Amino acid sequence: MCRFLVYKGKSEILLSKLILEPQHSILTQSYDSRLRLDTRRPHNGDGFGVGYYTPPSLGLEPCIFTSTIPAWNCINLARLAAKTTSSLIFAHVRATTEGSLSDNNCHPFRHGRLMWMHNGNVGGWKFVKRRLADSLGDQWFIGVQGGTDSEWAFALFLDSLERAGHNPNSDPGNDGFGHTVLRKAMLQTIKRINQFINDIPEQFKGDEDLDTRSLLNFAVTDGQSVVCTRYVSSTTDEAASLYFSSGTNWKQEGPKGNYIMERRDKGADIVLVASEPLTFERDNWVTVPTNSTLTIHKQTVMIHPIIDEYYNPYPSYSRSSGFAVSKGLVSNAPGVAQALTPGLSGAVTPALGTIDRGSIEDATERLRASNGHVEVARV
């Protein structure tokens, strides 16, 4: 499995302040991932990618830099990150599950103004791929260049966006497609993936090697809004980890690499979303609940439950982290991550109903009091 990072800020930031310098930067996670347990492939060393938006005078499409070199061993990444700034950044380090080691298989993926990345897997992929491909419009089918389930999922998202009446090839204007449009297309993408899995012929479902559960931590942006998911197609399992942090200033304080998210007022000038926290500051990071979307729109963070056959409305409902662990991941279940990664115990918080020893509602009230820009949708 992979690790990813999203930065959205009112101001541009030097890429190195996210990718290289923090104690637990995305580069560090490529060789020292604290929430992965895969002893077969202990590193996220199968390539990396960085995507970022430049000034409009250079075009509205994001710039994408990918390489199959491990992130920790790429001098060009250090050179680029030290001299490049942006207000919207995607970064990804890869551990292959599907697809070979090639630039075409490195995230993030791009189409026009849209950018996409994924941590996880599509369940039952070898039985799903043809059905998914057959469902796509010709241009989305032809546009797939690599062999990953992640890029095919992006093609499905583009197809879902078009079916909803929003042409991904069109110019959506300065405000992009809008966060509601992106979120609805994302939900439709997940729904279609689940349906393809449900449609796997019965004679194959007895295959002992077939696991139809999916881990779908997606991230998509149109350059204005960002939509992320933390999702597992199961009623009993926990999803792979996902966290966010928001505040007014991301700064180094004290020893080298010791970054903190500062909150000087009720504004949220910066929002970070990450598979693993970039720092060990407990109060800086909040767990995204399993089977939820996280939307960033004008620096406001909105969390919505994904209500489908795998949804459970009870905050006290407990899920198992066994599936995520079997895939080489820690979800964020209390006890598991803390026992295995004591250095990160301050950032690991219970999920599904509790965030940082409190309920979702209590944590939200604390965050709202501190930055005024977090909303949780209730059902």
**Residues 265 and 349: beta-carbon distance below 8 Å:** no
Three-state secondary structure call for residue 106? coil
How far from 58 is each of 2, 53, 55, 63, CA to CA, in Å?
A: 30, 9, 6, 10
Say how many CA atoms lie within 13 Å of 70 toward its Cβ. 12
Choice among 2, 74, 106, 228 that is catalytic: 2
Q: What are 316's two structure tokens?
A: 């006290």
38 in Cβ contact with 17 (< 8 Å): no
C-beta neighbour count of 34 within 10 angstroms: 22
HEC string of 30-89 equals HHCCCCECCCCCCCCCCCEEEEECCCHHHCCCCEEEEECCCHHHCHHHHHHHHCCEEEEE
In a 3-state reduction of DSSP, which class is residue 86? strand
2 included as an active-site residue: yes
Rg (CA), the chain: 19
Question: Using CA atoms, how far apart are residues 360 and 4, in angstroms rounded to an integer?
Answer: 24
Query: What single-letter amino acid sits at 256?
Result: K
Q: How far apart are CA 92 and CA 52, in angstroms?
A: 12
Q: Which of 250, 292, 251 is nearest to 271 (CA)?
A: 250
Q: Which amino acid is at 121?
A: N
Angle between helices 149-163 and 179-198 (to 10 degrees): 120
Helix H or strand E encompassing 121: strand 114-121
Rounded Cα distance between 1 and 38, Å, is 9
Residue 319 carries which DSSP code? -
Q: Which amino acid is at 182?
A: L
Active site residues: 2
